[in-house]
Amino acid sequence: MLTKDEIQRTVAQVDRSTVMGKRDYAIILLSARNGLRGSDIINLKLTDVGEALKEHILNGRPDSHSEFIFLVNGR
């Protein structure tokens, strides 16, 4: 469990100007704010999300036929 300060310092290190940085930022916040485990996050599917991740899906996620939200190396 990270402290609030540790989470803030971690998030501050993420370069949100890149696609991968935006992805990493979303993953960190899903874990820190919602208590999702890594296995929960990597298994999220498009049918599982609401409007909160719409920006990532429409503008940050690489084109893919994969049903998983967070892709690694375009897969």
- Tens digit of pLDDT for each residue in 61-74? 667 777 676 656 55
pLDDT band at 6 (very low <50, low <70, confident <90, very high): very high
Q: Is the Cβ–Cβ distance between 23 and 56 less than 8 Å? A: yes
Domain limits of the chain? 4-60
- Which letter does DSSP use for residue 49 in this model? -
Q: Is the Cβ–Cβ distance between 29 and 4 less than 8 Å? A: no
CA distance 50 to 68: 14
For residue 72, the model assigns a pLDDT of 62
For residue 42, the model assigns a pLDDT of 87
User: 34: Cβ–Cβ under 8 A, 6 or more apart, which residues?
Assistant: none
